[in-house]
Amino acid sequence: MAIDNAVGVLAAEGGEGGFWEDTYPVIPHPGELIVGIISFAALYFLYKKYVVPRLETMLAERQRTIEGGIERAEAMQAEAKAALEQYRAQLAEARNEAAQIRDQARAEGQQILEELRTQAQEESARIVARGEEQIAASRQQVINELRGQIGALAVDLAGRVVGESLADDARRNGTVDRFLDQLDGMVGAGGRGGATAASEGTR
Amino acid sequence: MTTEVSAAEEFVPPSAPDFWQPLVGDGAFALTRSMVVMVLVTIGLAVVMMLVTRRLAVVPGRGQFRLEGMYGLVRNSIGRDIIGSAHFKPYIPLLFTLFTLILVNNLMGIIPPIQFPTMSRIGFPLALALGVYVVYLVAGVRRRGIGGFLKNLVPSGLPLFVVPVVFVLELVTFLITRPVTLTLRLFGNMFAGHILLLLFALGGEFLLLHGDGLLKLVSIPAFLMFFLFSAFEILIAFLQAYVFILLASIYIAEVYADDH
């Protein structure tokens, strides 16, 4: 029917325009439809085989690169964080250690001070003791000297008083010693000074 | 267009026959101007795409950056967002082919010296729509089988007496309305747009050459309108390419939608 019509139109128009010039523009021209399909199909297969796979490969690679970059950055951040933690821990440890050392030093100082003090005390005690010893020795010496001198003086004095020469040394010595012992006994009696003096007076 | 005199005196507005431009031969298989444009655009796209994608770098250069912008629009904004990230991958070549082919062919409508929109000849949009048609029908049948595909046309839970009506309506939508509207939308936009451009160009020319006195000046706004609409056509060219793949994705997405 359509073809008959087309033939009729062609016949009527003669060489003027032809069916394809005068027909409705919504009637597809077969040649154009075929060229359209072929072009479309050719381009489609080219895109499917080359263009789109290449683009997809590149996009996937880019995504991998970006993800790799992010991963690397994350790893580095984690590493930095770990290092910071470690550093902080070390710092805390060092502070702790320093505090410990300080405490220890303080304790040691205290101890040393204590030791020195006791040493000093011992030393002073020793010095005092030696001093006392020396004093005692000096006193003994003085007493011994005085005993000699007092003996001589007393004998001399007594000789003069009694007018009797005590030439005999042994006798003299015995007398002096007896006297001094008596003197010692009086000193040992202590508080009874008056009685001693009285007994001395009787002598 | 009968005599020389009337051609000079009367303005012949542009009409459908102006789009029939056979270069070699005549009839159903004549080599037409739009065929040449289509083939040139296809070869040009093939060469450019192969060259640009030959060495793709992770850090893109200028050409690659532009290509990636376009590819990202088709792949992510349309393919992934509409079809869904689970199923969109096999359809990227189809969508990208459609988008680039339509866009560049549409732009040919205003790029001198070609200045002929291929898609204003209905055979080409029909070829593209047939491609989409085959893809979404095959995908639908492959996913659910013929029975499942037919059953899926009718939403569940309808009253029994409505089911046959809805079934017929949906079947007509699937088999006829969708490819036809897909074809006609693209064809109509480019056809009408080009007629408008022709009207302003030819009208301005006629006024300038054959207008009386001051009427010649009216050709100035006519030519201004021509430039304005040329700019507008760039927008249309992009928009129609976008709408075409948007609808194609929606039809494909329906295959994977589990509910109506």
Kindly report the nearest CA distance between residue B56 and chain A, in angstroms. 6
Specify the number of domains making up chain A: 1
* Residues B38, A39: C-beta atoms closer than 8 Å: yes
Q: Which residue has the higher pLDDT, B153 or A64?
A: A64
Q: Does A43 touch chain B (CB under 8 A)?
A: yes
CB pairs under 8 A between A and B: 130
Nearest CA in chain B to A29: B123
Query: DSSP string covering A38-79, please?
Result: HHHHHHHHHIIIIIHHHHHHHHHHHHHHHHHHHHHHHHHHHH
Residues of A in contact with B105 (CB under 8 A): none
Contact assessment for residue B106 and residue B245, using Cβ atoms and an 8 Å cutoff: no
Give yes or no for residue A3 having a pLDDT over 60. no
- Residue B67 domain flag: no
Which among B17, B35, B97 has the least Cβ separation from residue A43? B97
Taking only residues 188 to 247 of chain B, the set having a beta carbon closer than 8 angstroms to any beta carbon of chain A reads: 191
Per-residue pLDDT, A203? 45
Per-residue pLDDT, A170? 66
Percentage with pLDDT > 70 across chain B: 96
Q: How far apart are CA A159 and CA A174, in angstroms?
A: 15
Q: What integer is the mean pLDDT of B15-27?
A: 83
Which among A36, A48, A54 has the least Cβ separation from residue B127? A36
Query: DSSP string covering B77-139, please?
Result: IIIIIII-TTT-GGGHHHHHHHHHHHHHHHHTTTSTTT---GGGSTHHHHHHHHHHHHHHHHH
Q: How far apart are CA B155 and CA B163, in angstroms?
A: 9
- Residue B162 domain flag: yes
- Residue B3 domain flag: no
B42, B55, B59: which to substitute to probe chain A, counting the most A Cβ within 10 Å? Answer: B42
Per-residue pLDDT, A163? 61
- Residue B60 domain flag: no
Per-residue pLDDT, A197? 44
- Residue A23 domain flag: no
Query: Could you list the residue range(s) of the whole structural domain that residue A136 is in?
Result: 28-184
Weakest mean pLDDT among A64-78, A79-93, A189-203, B138-152: A189-203
Weakest mean pLDDT among A70-74, A184-188, B77-81: A184-188
Q: How far apart are CA B141 and CA B148, in angstroms?
A: 8
Give yes or no for residue B244 having a pLDDT over 90. yes
Peptide bond into B113 cis (omega under 30): yes
- Residue A202 domain flag: no
Q: Which residue has the higher pLDDT, A92 or B24?
A: A92
* Residues B32, A62: C-beta atoms closer than 8 Å: no
* Residues B28, A31: C-beta atoms closer than 8 Å: yes
Q: Does B56 touch chain A (CB under 8 A)?
A: yes
Specify the number of domains making up chain B: 1
- Residue A4 domain flag: no
Per-residue pLDDT, B257? 83
Residues of A in contact with B35 (CB under 8 A): 31-32, 35
Give yes or no for residue B202 having a pLDDT over 50. yes
Q: What are phi and psi of B26, to 5 degrees?
A: -150, 170
Give yes or no for residue B212 having a pLDDT over 70. yes
- Residue A14 domain flag: no
* Residues A39, B31: C-beta atoms closer than 8 Å: no
State in Å, rounded, how far the first CA of chain A is from the last one.
194
Q: How far is CA A153 from CA A117, A149, A156, B111, in A?
A: 51, 6, 5, 161
- Residue B44 domain flag: no
- Residue A50 domain flag: yes
Query: Could you list the residue range(s) of the whole structural domain that residue B117 is in?
Result: 73-256
Contact assessment for residue B91 and residue B83, using Cβ atoms and an 8 Å cutoff: yes
- Residue A16 domain flag: no
A21, A29, A45, A54: which to substitute to probe chain B, counting the most B Cβ within 10 Å? Answer: A29
pTM over 0.90, yes/no: no
- Residue A141 domain flag: yes
Which among A20, A35, A44 has the least Cβ separation from residue B35? A35
Residue type, B10: E
Q: How far apart are CA B22 and CA B31, in angstroms?
A: 6
Q: Does A85 touch chain B (CB under 8 A)?
A: no
Residues of A in contact with B18 (CB under 8 A): none
Q: What is the ipTM of this complex?
A: 0.88
Kindly report the nearest CA distance between residue A94 and chain B, in angstroms. 49
Per-residue pLDDT, B76? 92
Q: How far apart are CA B68 and CA B60, in angstroms?
A: 9
Contacts of B131 (CB under 8 A, 6+ apart): A37, A40, A41, A44, B94, B98
Per-residue pLDDT, B9? 65
Q: Does A55 touch chain B (CB under 8 A)?
A: yes
- Residue A199 domain flag: no
> pLDDT of A78-88, one tens digit each?
999 999 999 99
> pLDDT of B90-121, one tens digit each?
999 999 999 999 999 999 988 888 889 999 99
